[in-house]
Amino acid sequence: MFLNTKNHQIQGSQRAQQKRWQIEYLVNPKQLLEIGFSDGSDVVQSLKRTPKSIPMHYRYDDRGSQLFEQICDVPEYYLTRTETAILQECASEIVLMTGACELVELGSGNAVKTRILLDAYQQLGSLMRYLPIDISAGILESSGLALLDDYPSLQIQGLVSTFEMGLLQLAPSSLPTRMICFIGSTLGGLNRQESDVLLTQVATALQPGEYFLLGLDLHKSKHLLEAAYNDSQGVNAQFNFNILHHLNQKFQGNFDATKFDHRVFYNESLQQMQIYLQSLQKQTIQLDSLELNIELELDELILTALARKFELNSIQQKLQSFGLRSLQIWTDPNQWYGLLLSQRQ
């Protein structure tokens, strides 16, 4: 059941265009209290645990989404450039292989890379409907409206939601073929258990014969990885500090970002980047609306994000274990990044 539906008024456009654009808000604070998400219970649990952490989705308020866009442009952050180049090479092939009529995108963000696929579908394919799902309402609204202008025959149904709730909400498509797309290596931000839950949901949302396109950052040298998450302009650091502003605003908190440092570490045995905020002093933090007091020691670390890195063989096997058979893999000349197309069996 949708909790709230809003059809946007698009100034100066025709009624036909309004019909092509719909956005649904699953993240309605009152209802979310009932289902236990974003009422802050996840923050309370993760900050009371040892070691402390903050759930990764708090990185993405509107300011966080803007900062993520800036990260994509810093020289050290090779991920976006590399995935873009791969998509430019293989988009036509993907369109011809899948013939998808409906594209569901998890964590669509600004949808800039999605445009490469949409252009190829517009030229060669039969895509009729695009369903972006993202927790960040602002970026979903702005990117959806921009796409509406640029793809005149596309219906767009945005869903402001978590991945899990969005996938649960997804009805079987009335159109012949669906492809779910999850690019930007966003899967790497989920821990192993969350990732398994998500892959189960993806497999359930697809009919046999339908497609899953997954973009992943691959395991590589510690030096390159740590530089990508700790750029010299400090944009990654601002993105990390913004979590504290977001929590302050959402839960009437008193985090002071100047009392923290941005720390990153590539854990080679677990093949994951670990991103932390380190307390520069002993301090007490209050989050009033959660009635939460947290004591932080000097140098204590709060884990704010994981970015897991992958090996192509093991991710193929993983997908296969969820009934997603690998059809094709595209990568770059350095083998830094992989794009995997699989098919629901």
Ligand X SMILES: C[S@@+](CC[C@H](N)C(=O)[O-])C[C@H]1O[C@@H](n2cnc3c(N)ncnc32)[C@H](O)[C@@H]1O
Instruction: List residues binding ligand X (CB under 6 A).
Output: 57, 60, 65, 68, 107-109, 113, 134-136, 139, 162-163, 183-184, 186
The helix (H) or strand (E) run that includes residue 22 is strand 21-25
> To the nearest whole angstrom, how small is the minimum distance from the Cβ of residue 108 to ligand X?
6
Residue closer to ligand X, measured from CB, 70 or 126 = 70
CA-atom Rg of the chain in angstroms: 20
Residue closer to ligand X, measured from CB, 148 or 167 = 167
Residue least distant from ligand X (Cβ): 184
Residue closer to ligand X, measured from CB, 143 or 279 = 143
Burial of 69 by CB count in 10 Å (0-12 exposed, 13-18 middle, 19+ buried)? middle
Residue closer to ligand X, measured from CB, 183 or 294 = 183
Listed residue (204, 245, 215, 257) closest to 66, CA to CA: 245
> To the nearest whole angstrom, how small is the minimum distance from the Cβ of residue 318 to ligand X?
19
> To the nearest whole angstrom, how small is the minimum distance from the Cβ of residue 125 to ligand X?
20
End-to-end CA distance of the chain: 28
Residue closer to ligand X, measured from CB, 68 or 78 = 68
> To the nearest whole angstrom, how small is the minimum distance from the Cβ of residue 157 to ligand X?
15
Spatial CB neighbours of 65, under 8 Å, sequence gap ≥ 6: 109, 110, 136, 138, 139
> To the nearest whole angstrom, how small is the minimum distance from the Cβ of residue 185 to ligand X?
7
Q: Which two tokens stand for residue 293?
A: 């007091």
Distance CA 184, CA 113 (A): 9
